[in-house]
Amino acid sequence: MMTKSDLTDWSLEYCSQVLRGDIIASDKVKKACKRHLRDLDRVDDDDFPYKYSVKRANRVISFIEMLPDIKTGKPNKLALFQKFILSQLYGWREKEKPVRRFHKAYISMARKNGKTIIVAGVASYEFLFGKNPEYSRQIYCTANSKDQAKIAFSMVVKQLNKVMRQSPSIRKRIRKVREELTDEQSYSVLRPLSKDTGSIDGFEPLVGILDEYHASKTTEMMEVLESGQVLLDNALTLIISTAGFDLNAPMYTIEYPYVTKLLNGEIEDDNYFAFVAEQDNEDEIHDQSLWIKSNPLMEVNEIRDMLVTNISKKLNEAIAKDELNPTLTKNFNMWRATSGASYINEADWKATEKHIDITGEDVYFGVDLSRVDDLSAVSAIFPIGDEKFHCDSHSFVATKGGLKTKIERDKIDYHKLAKNGYCTITGLESGVIDLNQVIDYIIEYVEKNELNMKGICYDPYNSQMLLAEIERRGLDWELFEVRQGIKSLNEPTKDFRIQIYNRMMTHEPNPLLDIAVHNATLKEDNDGIMINKRLNREKIDPIVAMIDAHTEAMYYYKNQPADPFLFFV
């Protein structure tokens, strides 16, 4: 017999409450709701290949609400936002065949907001009752480390242990051998998986759950899952994670920008679902009524007060200690660098990203030549009028020791970046930096954009051969020596950051420059500051070259001759 709950359209209920303002939600969650309502209006269109089934969605919700809480043993009661997420994953189907619409999902919110209930529920349902394939379903709880991967897996095991005590039919089906559950009725398996796991025969994951993906340094686990799904038409890759501290992690550099564009309507991807509960700006942390944006579990009255109390304690302590970033990241789901000593705040850096036509502008170049077997960079700063600046950078990649080894060590895909024009891989068989490529790049860049060369700012260390080649070619470039010490770099380092903060310096979209800014920290003593890095393998060469260029560019407007016509204005 169908109950009222079985007929309730939880997605529609959540969307209605969010868009009416009854439930306060982040900008991205609002856009996810609007997307659902738009798609519902398209269901009857011949060119829209998907349909929405409340019955299918509620079947999964009902199952998960029957699973016991591992602490109390009582059935889980899902919040409305959790029902919305599950409804999206299971309610939307293809019209022509019984397979899911969304094959990839990105779900992100602050800590302790019920992510694991969703993970364990999806894993358990697919393990016991999944379809297509009917048999031999493979479900993997994955993470960057084996210990993390086992967290979600262990919750599934504990829940199913309680289920087996209540259900003789389920008890007969399931066997656990070490770190693997087997369903003897369908020959399906559920197990944890990490990069430390050895090879798996017949690897074909129907569902791969990437738990706390923010901790992954590479896309390796994502690629492992998706490469194993190519012959499955009902597969699901589920990213479920809080924000993190590594601003060069693929969750932040690849997936987060993609879902942002998806929800903004800048790109179309009918098979990718995104739910991002986050604070829309840092000022919102001072208004408790807005914390629900990143903590959607606050919609539940019985939980709200406890969350508010605990987060308030964390926030007050963080403010008192002047160490806000960990709280912003874990309790408000905002991406922030680990240390407060980061050179430039990520929000300010993102806010100044802008494409500008620099044709015909003046330009100062900074050159940072690292070891001949490492990364080098040429950065450019353009005074663009109204006392504003714009900047960009290009890197040069050595291959000594093998490019593949360098890509794995640096966690940077230089092949892709070179293809997209952000760097040049050395053409020398020795694998060292080719100084002719560096000089040729500057010449071609100046000529292509009809720039007025104001000078080259360089670190004298490792620059003898570069200077000799410039002289040999008879290039009439003004050269400025910039010694790498706090006394000489303090002023340009401070001024460049001030220009960014005041929105007087913009920068081109540039992944390698972004990586360098994310890696840059501050080194400080009585003489001032200069940029540094936390780890030796972290690359900061593009921003180092930028500061070199700014040692001269920063004086550009001060050195301009007075306008004689101002007298008549």
Is the domain of 270 the same as that of 350? no
Is the domain of 413 the same as that of 271? no
Tokens matching residue 376: 């080098």
Over residues 411-434, the mean pLDDT reads 92
User: ∠ at Cα 367 (365, 373), nearest 5°?
Assistant: 155
Q: How confident is the model at residue 407 (pLDDT cuts 50, 70, 90)?
A: confident
- Helices 27-42 and 10-20 cross at an angle (nearest 10°) of 130
Dihedral in degrees, nearest 10, Cα atoms 237, 241, 245, 251: 20
Is the domain of 265 the same as that of 392? no
Residue 31 to residues 333, 547, 565: CA-CA distances in angstroms? 17, 39, 52
What is the pLDDT, as a whole number, of residue 72?
80
Instruction: DSSP letter for 68, please.
Output: B
SS3 74: coil
Residue 423, pLDDT > 90, answer yes
Whether the CB-CB separation of 513 and 366 falls below 8 Å is answered with: no
Is the domain of 398 the same as that of 537? yes
Residue 74 placed within a domain: yes
Three-state SS string over 417-453 comes to HHHCCCEEECCCCCCCCCHHHHHHHHHHHHHHCCCEE
Single out the residue in 255, 282, 309 at which a domain terminates.
282
Is the domain of 263 the same as that of 372? no
What is the pLDDT, as a whole number, of residue 2?
45
What is the pLDDT, as a whole number, of residue 70?
77
On the CB side of 139, CA atoms within 13 Å amount to 29
Residue 492 placed within a domain: yes
Gap between the Cα atoms of 25 and 276, Å rounded: 10
Is the domain of 277 the same as that of 356? no
What is the pLDDT, as a whole number, of residue 341?
66
> Lowest-pLDDT range, 402-406, 434-438, 476-480?
402-406
Residue 308 placed within a domain: no
Q: Which residues contact 74 (CB under 8 A, 6 or more apart)?
A: 68
What's the distance, CA 236 to chain centroid? 20
Assign residue 31 the CATH number of its domain: 3.40.50.300
Q: How confident is the model at residue 526 (pLDDT cuts 50, 70, 90)?
A: confident
Residue 3, pLDDT > 70, answer no
Gap between the Cα atoms of 21 and 29, Å rounded: 12
Single out the residue in 249, 282, 315 at which a domain terminates.
282
Dihedral in degrees, nearest 10, Cα atoms 346, 352, 356, 359: -90
Q: How confident is the model at residue 64 (pLDDT cuts 50, 70, 90)?
A: very high
What's the distance, CA 305 to chain centroid? 31
Whether the CB-CB separation of 263 and 34 falls below 8 Å is answered with: no
Query: Residue 263 burial (CB < 10 Å; 0-12/13-18/19+)?
Result: buried
Residue 315 placed within a domain: no
Residue 509 to residues 353, 376, 394, 400: CA-CA distances in angstroms? 6, 19, 12, 28
Single out the residue in 245, 261, 282 at which a domain terminates.
282
What is the per-residue pLDDT across 295-314, written as a single tens digit (0 to 9) for each?
999 999 989 999 999 999 99
What's at 330, amino acid-wise? K
Over residues 503-528, the mean pLDDT reads 91
Residue 265 placed within a domain: yes
Residue 1, pLDDT > 60, answer no
Residue 483 to residues 369, 458, 530: CA-CA distances in angstroms? 13, 8, 12
Gap between the Cα atoms of 115 and 337, Å rounded: 23
Residue 378 placed within a domain: yes
Is the domain of 257 the same as that of 355? no
Residue 301 placed within a domain: no
Gap between the Cα atoms of 149 and 179, Å rounded: 11
End-to-end CA distance of the chain: 84
What is the pLDDT, as a whole number, of residue 525?
80
Residue the block writes with tokens 């939307």: 92
pTM: 0.82
Is the domain of 180 the same as that of 48? yes
- Supply the DSSP string of 197-249, one letter for each residue: S---TT---SEEEEETGGG-SSSHHHHHHHHTTTT-SS-EEEEEE---S-TTS
Residue 436, pLDDT > 90, answer yes
Gap between the Cα atoms of 441 and 435, Å rounded: 10
> Lowest-pLDDT range, 96-105, 405-414, 475-484?
405-414
Residue 300 placed within a domain: no
Q: Would strands 92-94 and 50-52 be described as parallel, antiparallel, or unpaired?
A: antiparallel
Is the domain of 237 the same as that of 358? no
Whether the CB-CB separation of 186 and 214 falls below 8 Å is answered with: no
Over residues 45-54, the mean pLDDT reads 96
Whether the CB-CB separation of 184 and 175 falls below 8 Å is answered with: yes
User: ∠ at Cα 83 (80, 84), nearest 5°?
Assistant: 90
Over residues 218-240, the mean pLDDT reads 92
Assign residue 450 the CATH number of its domain: 3.30.420.240
Is the domain of 271 the same as that of 372? no
Is the domain of 266 the same as that of 359? no
Q: How many domains does the chain have?
A: 2
Provide the domain limits for residue 488. 346-553
Question: 357: how many CB neighbours lie within 10 A of its CB?
Answer: 9
Gap between the Cα atoms of 89 and 79, Å rounded: 16
The overall average pLDDT reported for the chain is 91
β-bridge mates for residue 376, sequence order: 396
Is the domain of 253 the same as that of 358? no
Radius of gyration in angstroms for the set of CA atoms belonging to the chain, rounded to a whole number = 27
Alpha helices in 359-434 (DSSP H): 403-410, 414-419
